[in-house]
C-alpha cells in the first residue's frame, strides 16, 4: 500500500472496507457515522440492496457501449425519469462522469447555443466569488474559490466574479432581504454592462452554495431577479446543483424553492449516490432545439459518458428517492437536524452562524461572535475538526475560506437521506466534542 498518490501526501488515510447504512467501517473495525455522505454524495447510505442489485444486473447484461455508436436502455430510462419531473422546459439530458464534467459540458453547451443562434460574440461568463464548480480547468475558471484557483491561475480561462449571496457576512445590519438581493442584482447588471451585454454568454451559480461557502441559501427573491436580468440581456442562466440537487435541500431540485428555471442545470453527487460515478446536465429546450435545428450535433463528449452500469445505478437511486418519499424525509429530518444544531450550538461562543436547508447544514466557526472575526487560517482549525471528528467515529465536511477564499472555517453536514433521529443525536454529540477539542487545541 505504497503507490497511490494520495490527495495529501502528509496524511495517512484509514482504509475504508465496508459500508453499512449511514456508517463507514475501516480495516481496524472503527465505525464512522458518515455525516457528510462522503462529499454530499451517498444519499442512500452505503449498502442499498436495490441499487447494488440494479448495477449487478446491468453489469451482467452489458457494462458499457460507447455513446457515439449506441444508446442503452438504462441511459434512456434514466433520462426519461429525470425529464419527467424536471422544472418545465428542461427535457433533455446530457450525461457526464462527475460534477466537474457536468459543469464543463454546460459551459460548452452555452457556447454552442450562442454560435447556433448567430451570436458568436457571446463568450463572457460571470460567476460568483467563493463558489465551487469543480476542479477541471474550465470549471475551476468558473469557480471563485481563491485557494483552489491560486496555483493554476495562469492556466485558467478568464471569467468574471460578482458577489455571492452570503447574508451572514455581506448583508447590511439594517438591510432588508429585498434590498440586499437588489444590491447583488445591480452588481450583476453592472458587470454585464461593463462587459457589453451582447458579449455575455452565461451566469453560473450554485443554487445553494456548497463547499466553499457552506450551505448558504440565497435571500428570497434573489434568483428570480437574477433570472429577470439574464432574460433581459439574453444571458443563459446555469445553475450548479451538483451538491445541493436531487433532494439534498428538501426539494428534488433546489431551484424549485427559488421559483426559477435555469437554462442548464448541472447534477452529479446524489445522482448516482456513490454507487456509480455519474453526472448530468438537464438542458432547456431553448438550448437543445437551437443545436438540434442548427448544426445538429453537440461538439463534445467523453469515452465513458452515459456508461450503462452507471446509468442503471443512478436509475435505481433516482427511483428510490422518488418511490420511498425521501425528499419529504429530507425535509423532516432536516428540520430535526437544524433544531438539534441550534440547541447544541446556538449559544456556543465560537459558532457564529448556523445555516442550511434540508439535510444540508453548516456551522461557521469564529474566534469572536460579536465581531465575526474568523480564526487565523494558519491554525488549520478545519483540519483539526476533521481529525477530532474522525477520532470519535464521525465524518463531517470542514472547509476553510468562506470569508474570502482563505480566512474563515466552517463545518458542513450533509448526511444520507436515510439518517435516523437517533443518529442525528449521535452526530450532534460527536460534532460538539470534536469542535470543542479542536478549538481548545488551537488557542
Ligand atoms: C457545486 C459543485 N459543482 C461541481 C463540483 C465538482 O464535482 P466533482 O468533484 O464530482 O467533479 C462540486 C464538487 O464538490 C460541487 O460541489
- How far apart are the C-alpha atoms of 73 and 61, rounded to whole Å? 11
Q: Which pLDDT belongs to residue 152? A: 98
Q: Determine the average pLDDT of the residues in 383-409.
A: 96
Q: Determine the average pLDDT of the residues in 413-442.
A: 97
Residue 197: CB atoms within 10 A of its CB come to 16
Residues 379 and 372: beta-carbon distance below 8 Å: no
- Taking each helix axis from N to C end, the angle separating 73-84 and 308-323, rounded to the nearest 10 degrees, works out to 30
Position 1 pLDDT exceeds 80? no
3-class state of residue 406 by DSSP: coil
Q: Determine the average pLDDT of the residues in 277-295.
A: 98
CA of 346 to the centre of ligand 1 (A): 30
**CA distance to 162, 188, 329, per residue, from 184 (Å):** 8, 6, 33
Q: Which pLDDT belongs to residue 428? A: 97
Q: Determine the average pLDDT of the residues in 130-157.
A: 96
- How far apart are the C-alpha atoms of 345 and 207, rounded to whole Å? 26
The residue to which cell 458577489 is assigned: 163
Residues with Cβ within 8 Å of residue 176, at least 6 apart in sequence: none
Ligand 1 contact via 100 beta carbon (within 6 Å): yes
Residues 214 and 399: beta-carbon distance below 8 Å: yes
Q: Which pLDDT belongs to residue 431? A: 98
Atom of ligand 1 nearest to the CA of 101: 11
CA of 348 to the centre of ligand 1 (A): 31
Atom of ligand 1 nearest to the CA of 134: 6
Q: Determine the average pLDDT of the residues in 412-439.
A: 98
Q: Number of H helices and number of E strands within the chain?
A: 15, 17
CA-based end-to-end distance of the chain: 36
pTM: 0.98
CA of 369 to the centre of ligand 1 (A): 30
Position 113 pLDDT exceeds 80? yes
Atom of ligand 1 nearest to the CA of 268: 10
CA of 443 to the centre of ligand 1 (A): 33
Q: Determine the average pLDDT of the residues in 327-338.
A: 98
CA of 44 to the centre of ligand 1 (A): 18
CA of 100 to the centre of ligand 1 (A): 6
CA of 241 to the centre of ligand 1 (A): 9
Ligand 1 contact via 133 beta carbon (within 6 Å): yes
**What average pLDDT does the chain have?**
97
Q: Which pLDDT belongs to residue 95? A: 98
Q: Which pLDDT belongs to residue 391? A: 97
- How far apart are the C-alpha atoms of 368 and 352, rounded to whole Å? 8
Q: Determine the average pLDDT of the residues in 262-284.
A: 98
Of residues 111, 114, 143, the one with CA closest to residue 126: 143
Q: Determine the average pLDDT of the residues in 120-133.
A: 98
Position 2 pLDDT exceeds 90? no
Q: Which of 242, 280, 302, 397 best tests ligand 1's pocket when mutated (most atoms within 8 Å of CB)?
A: 242
Q: Which pLDDT belongs to residue 196? A: 98
- Looking at the chain, the whole-number percentage of residues with pLDDT higher than 90 is 98
Q: Which of 36, 97, 100 best tests ligand 1's pocket when mutated (most atoms within 8 Å of CB)?
A: 100
Q: Determine the average pLDDT of the residues in 152-169.
A: 98
- How far apart are the C-alpha atoms of 364 and 213, rounded to whole Å? 9
Ligand 1 contact via 98 beta carbon (within 6 Å): yes
Q: Determine the average pLDDT of the residues in 153-178.
A: 98
Q: Which pLDDT belongs to residue 68? A: 96
Going by pLDDT thresholds of 50, 70 and 90, the confidence category of residue 82 is very high
Q: Which pLDDT belongs to residue 405? A: 87
Helices in 196-275 by DSSP H: which ranges? Answer: 222-233, 254-258
**Tens-digit pLDDT profile for residues 196-232:** 999 999 999 999 999 899 999 999 999 999 999 999 9
Cell of 143: 469557480
Residues with Cβ within 8 Å of residue 384, at least 6 apart in sequence: 437, 438, 441, 442
CA of 176 to the centre of ligand 1 (A): 31
Question: For the ranges 7-11, 118-122, 151-155, 224-228, which has the lowest average pLDDT?
Answer: 7-11
Q: Which pLDDT belongs to residue 417? A: 98
Number of residues assigned to the chain: 443
Amino acid at each position: 500500500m505504497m503507490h497511490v498518490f494520495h490527495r495529501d501526501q502528509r496524511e495517512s488515510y484509514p482504509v475504508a472496507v465496508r459500508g453499512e447504512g449511514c456508517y463507514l467501517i475501516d480495516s481496524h473495525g472503527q465505525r464512522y457515522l458518515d455525516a457528510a455522505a462522503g462529499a454530499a454524495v451517498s444519499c442512500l447510505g452505503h449498502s442499498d440492496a436495490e441499487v447494488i442489485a440494479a448495477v449487478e444486473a446491468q453489469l451482467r447484461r452489458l457494462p458499457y457501449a460507447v455513446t457515439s455508436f449506441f444508446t442503452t436502455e438504462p441511459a434512456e430510462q434514466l433520462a426519461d425519469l429525470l425529464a419527467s419531473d424536471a422544472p418545465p422546459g428542461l427535457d433533455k439530458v446530457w450525461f457526464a462522469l462527475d460534477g466537474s464534467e457536468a459543469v464543463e459540458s454546460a459551459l460548452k453547451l452555452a457556447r454552442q447555443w450562442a454560435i447556433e443562434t448567430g451570436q458568436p460574440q457571446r463568450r463572457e461568463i460571470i460567476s460568483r466569488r467563493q463558489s465551487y464548480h469543480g476542479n477541471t480547468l474550465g470549471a475551476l475558471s468558473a469557480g471563485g474559490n481563491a485557494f483552489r484557483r491560486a496555483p493554476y491561475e495562469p492556466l485558467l480561462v478568464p471569467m468574471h466574479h460578482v458577489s455571492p449571496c452570503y447574508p451572514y457576512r455581506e448583508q447590511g445590519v439594517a438591510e432588508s432581504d429585498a434590498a440586499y438581493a437588489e444590491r447583488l442584482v445591480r452588481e450583476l447588471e453592472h458587470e454585464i454592462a461593463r462587459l457589453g451585454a451582447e458579449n455575455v454568454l452565461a451566469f453560473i451559480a450554485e443554487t445553494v452554495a456548497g463547499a466553499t461557502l457552506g450551505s448558504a441559501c440565497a435571500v428570497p427573491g434573489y434568483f428570480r431577479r437574477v433570472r429577470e436580468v439574464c432574460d433581459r440581456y439574453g444571458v443563459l442562466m446555469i445553475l450548479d446543483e451538483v451538491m445541493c440537487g436531487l433532494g439534498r435541500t428538501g426539494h428534488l431540485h433546489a431551484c424549485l424553492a427559488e421559483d426559477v428555471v435555469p437554462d442548464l442545470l448541472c447534477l452529479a453527487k446524489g445522482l448516482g449516490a456513490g454507487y456509480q460515478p455519474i453526472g448530468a446536465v438537464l438542458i432547456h429546450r431553448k438550448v437543445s432545439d437551437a443545436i438540434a435545428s442548427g448544426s445538429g450535433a453537440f461538439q463534445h463528449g467523453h469515452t465513458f459518458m452515459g456508461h450503462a452500469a452507471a446509468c442503471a445505478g443512478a436509475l435505481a437511486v433516482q427511483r428510490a428517492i422518488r418511490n420511498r418519499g425521501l425528499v419529504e424525509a429530507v425535509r423532516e429530518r432536516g428540520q430535526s437536524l437544524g433544531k438539534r444544531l441550534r440547541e447544541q450550538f446556538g449559544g456556543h461562543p465560537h459558532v457564529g452562524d448556523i445555516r442550511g436547508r434540508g439535510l444540508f447544514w453548516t456551522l461557521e466557526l469564529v474566534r469572536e461572535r460579536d465581531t465575526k472575526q474568523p480564526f487565523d487560517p494558519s491554525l488549520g482549525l478545519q483540519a483539526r475538526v476533521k481529525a477530532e471528528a474522525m477520532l470519535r467515529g464521525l465524518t463531517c465536511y470542514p472547509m476553510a475560506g468562506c470569508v474570502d477564499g482563505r480566512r474563515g472555517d466552517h463545518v458542513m453536514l450533509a448526511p444520507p437521506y436515510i439518517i435516523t433521529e437517533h443518529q442525528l443525536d449521535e452526530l450532534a454529540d460527536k460534532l460538539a466534542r470534536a469542535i470543542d477539542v479542536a478549538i481548545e487545541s488551537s488557542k
